[in-house]
Amino acid sequence: MLIDSTLREGEQQFGVYFDRSHKEELLRLSLAAGVDEVEVGAVGPSPEHCRELEGLLLYGAMLKGRRQSLSLWCACRPADLRMAAGLAPDRLCMTVPVSDAHIRRKLGLDRQALLGHVARMLDLARELGVAYVSLGLEDVSRADLTFALSVARLAQDKGAARLRLADTVGVLAPAETARLVSAFRAAVNLPLALHLHNDFGMATANAVEGLRAGADFVDASALGLGERAGLASLEQLAGYLTLRLGAEGYDLATVRELCASAARAANMPVPANAPMVGERIFWCESGLHVDGLYKAAELYEPFEPSRVGLSRKLGVGKKSGRAAVARKLGELGLAACGDMQSLTDRVRALSAAKGRVLEDEELLALAK
């Protein structure tokens, strides 16, 4: 299952600010795309912020499907927990550091004190009537595994509904992610979620491998937005799960719309070659590939462009061969001319001079 963290983690990216209308649109599109859980935001000290979260939860509750959930994130502190519980999300995601560096330098505690703190916080969550607590283990990828597993067992004993394993600084590789998931899967009988950062460009691959190893959920964000290099990519995961692993329920065209909306809200472009959503990923100029696409599209495409709301475009330019130029002429209603090599040479020369693929009108002018 995919947890969309665009509204929380995505807004942590430097220079990204979502206003209320942006947040409502992103929430609407995420639910329409079939995402299983949307992390609406993180509780904070501002009363205005809490009112906004409350409004988003109410808005999302009107839109979500029966199997979809809305969650809030909070730090593992009594005041934050009370504030989050008062907003009554479907799921509450509470996070605590488990690496020694974080425990000592960030919290000023030792391991035993941390275990006591986690136990008290989970007891408080139960007292507050929180039905579903997802306990996040921050920086678990750099933690002592034996200690991290002891925190996981404590969480299970204290009634946590889910564990979330966070590769906080994105240091894992796919095989390491699989081993980490397997270790927790063997130690506790709780659903496992993954929160994977992309500092070495492996977050999405780590997410796929983690799911294969037995994880149940993975956090992702539209276009991979997030702190530093971002998170696992929502569109790439939804696409891979749907088109390669046969998952049902994700509307990939709406996922693409979600990414476009996130890009507008973040004041950034969607790269033309971005996997799953880039406008030009099914545009082709290379002679060998164009010829193959004319013969059978599946030779050089992993799936039909229409599956993600895109279309195919075949162009001619300095990388085109005679066959591609002849086929393009046929598309435009002209038969191949007598000296195709000469025409192809002219196409290549003009394309090189202009530094781009030729427009149809330019090809017709050369042919005539």
* Residues 306-322: tens digit of each pLDDT: 999 999 888 888 988 88
- Whether residue 84 is contained in a domain is answered as yes
Of the candidates 200, 204, 183, the residue with the CA atom closest to the CA atom of residue 192: 183
Q: How far apart are CA 331 and CA 224, in angstroms?
A: 38
Q: What is the per-residue pLDDT for 287?
A: 67
pTM, 2 dp: 0.92
Domain containing residue 136: 2-266
- One-letter amino acid of 275: P
If residue 265 lies in a helix (H) or strand (E), which one and from where to where?
helix 252-265
pLDDT digit string (tens) for 190-200? 999 999 999 99
Query: pLDDT tens, position by position, for the chain (368 residues)?
Result: 999 999 999 999 999 999 999 999 999 999 999 999 999 999 987 889 999 999 999 999 999 999 999 999 999 999 999 999 999 999 999 999 999 999 999 999 999 999 999 999 999 999 999 999 999 999 999 999 999 999 999 999 999 999 999 999 999 999 999 999 999 999 999 999 999 999 999 999 999 999 999 999 999 999 999 999 999 999 999 999 999 999 999 999 999 999 999 999 999 999 999 999 999 999 887 767 777 777 888 888 899 999 999 998 888 889 888 888 888 888 888 877 678 889 989 989 998 999 998 898 998 888 88
Please report, for the chain, how many H helices and E strands are present, in that order. 14, 10
Q: What is the per-residue pLDDT for 122?
A: 98
Is the distance from CB of 39 to CB of 5 less than 8 angstroms?
yes
Are residues 254 and 310 located together in one domain of the fold? no
Are residues 218 and 119 located together in one domain of the fold? yes
Are residues 146 and 288 located together in one domain of the fold? no
Are residues 233 and 299 located together in one domain of the fold? no
Q: What is the per-residue pLDDT for 354?
A: 92
- Whether residue 276 is contained in a domain is answered as no
Are residues 20 and 108 located together in one domain of the fold? yes
Are residues 236 and 312 located together in one domain of the fold? no
Cα–chain center distance at 321? 38
Q: What is the per-residue pLDDT for 189?
A: 97
- Whether residue 277 is contained in a domain is answered as no
Are residues 260 and 290 located together in one domain of the fold? no
